[in-house]
Amino acid sequence: MAISPPYPPYPPHPGGPTEDGSLRHAHWWQRRWVRYGAPITLLALSGLVILALVREQTGTEGFLVGLGLAVLPVPLLIAAFRWLDRVEPGPWRNLIFAFAWGACAAALIAIVANSFATKWIATATADPSSADTLGATVIAPIVEESAKAAAILLVFLFRRRDFTGLVDGVVIAGITATGFAFTENILYLGTAFGTDQLTGDSGIASVTVATFFVRVIMSPFAHPLFTVLTGLGFGFAARAGDHQHVRRVLVPLCGLLLAMGMHALWNGSSTFGEFGFFAVYAAFMVPAFGLLTWLVVWTRQRELRTVREELPAYAAAGWVTPAEPYALGSMRARRLAREYAKRHLGRPAARAVAEYEAYATSLAFLRHRGRSGRASADFVVRERELLNELWRRKDVARPALDHAARMTAPPLRVAVPAGPWPVYGGYGYGQGHGQGHGQGHAPGYAYPAGQAYGYGYGYPAGSYPVANPYQG
């Protein structure tokens, strides 16, 4: 009689059956329509309110001009953050939520809170000029960075599987700040256009052109740069172990305080004299931008190295082929694999290879966290899910990755034990005939003929431990 391999069961679903077979009733806040409907409704209402407020302050014509100019840097910024996230791309729904939160909810909070605080200070001190300065240098940085940090916190808490390190924090923070800057730029550019309409200025000397140059040409990365400091704090917290509660709380707070400080310095640069803005820009903003860019690129290279170091353990077990750790650890090889699949099998195959690359990267990171003592309680279940996804796509992905490995990597210098898997391109593969070969199973393992599991595929027996090997 066929016996299933010792896979641990999935944790019970909130609305699924219990151990005795009775149905488990999910709490109302765990229902899918609540989890997705509530934030969508909140963001939609915020968007309508912020649209009305901005249009009221700029006028219809000013709003349209501001919208047309403010949208210009958005695709470039999103593409830049998406490029940073190419090693383990996060789901688009997280990015859409982050951008919508920044553009709608965070912008609405900032406009309402900043206006209220500035008016209150002006009334209390009877000095509107000082109130405006204090509002810009103290109130605005605190309110705006806190509002943007809320999006990072929500993704960190409710999409924890997608938030595993520094790059994830940087990307979510950057996309949120891009949305916030987009709405803010509409307001500033639309107001500048209205001023030019009243004064009759036009051309290079107009307020609109000056505002566009400062906010869109010189400093499109200003808001993303501030909020990325908060994102780095959450990224370091994501790398902490579950028992490191102090680090998980204090590091994000430190990042938020740094973001507020840099934001205050930037807003206060206009009070430092005629050239105060340019001095702050050259002495602080540009070096900080360069340092953070280097840090993120270095982190991405370290992630690729992690893939190359962790996946060979799964190659030894037959889950991936010996060449795949090298191919998956190179962005050029990944691109070649997708192009190879697209050229021979079309776009769906290229998409399957891209998904395979993403799941394999997540698997490598999961194992790395486990070996570092940072494995979560669902380590085994998550590992099985990722291996399931790899196995479903192996027939398309393996030949493409083998081709990419042979095109980009030097020949293997060490002898690789010949395994009984099929030969795709000779890159470290051997031939053999294992039980289950040709039946859709991972050959070479003692597995009953025809036995299948999960999505109709067989798996290497014993690949999943019964207990988490990384927890004592």
pLDDT in tens, 176-227: 999 999 999 999 999 999 888 888 777 777 889 999 998 999 889 999 999 9
Query: Residue 442: pLDDT band by 50, 70, 90 thresholds?
Result: very low
> Which residues, 6 or more positions from 167, have their beta carbon under 8 angstroms from its beta carbon?
84, 85, 87, 88, 235, 296, 299, 300, 303
pLDDT at 189: 94
> Which residues, 6 or more positions from 279, have their beta carbon under 8 angstroms from its beta carbon?
269, 272
Tell whether the model's pLDDT for residue 361 goes beyond 70: yes
Lookup: tokens for 239: 């790398």
pLDDT at 382: 87
> Which residues, 6 or more positions from 52, have their beta carbon under 8 angstroms from its beta carbon?
none
Range with lowest mean pLDDT among 84-93, 121-130, 392-401:
121-130
pTM for this model (two decimals): 0.77
Query: Residue 372: pLDDT band by 50, 70, 90 thresholds?
Result: confident
DSSP secondary structure of 200-239 = T--GGGSHHHHHHIIIIII-TTHHHHHHHHHHHHHHHHHT
Q: CA 154, CA 301: separation in Å to the nearest integer?
A: 27
Q: Closest Cα to residue 340, out of 394, 389, 396, 422?
A: 396
Say what angle helices 286-310 and 347-371 make with each other, to 10 degrees: 90
- Provide the b/e sequence for 85-118 (b: ≥16 CB within 10 Å): bbbbbbeeebbebbbbbbbbbbbbbbbebbeebb
Helix (H) or strand (E) holding 147: helix 140-158
Residue 293 amino acid letter: T
Phi, psi of 143 (to 5 degrees): -65, -50
> Which residues, 6 or more positions from 277, have their beta carbon under 8 angstroms from its beta carbon?
214, 269, 270
- Averaged over 228-239, what is the pLDDT? 92
pLDDT at 410: 64
Query: Residue 173: pLDDT band by 50, 70, 90 thresholds?
Result: very high
Q: CA 99, CA 224: separation in Å to the nearest integer?
A: 11
Average pLDDT, the chain: 79
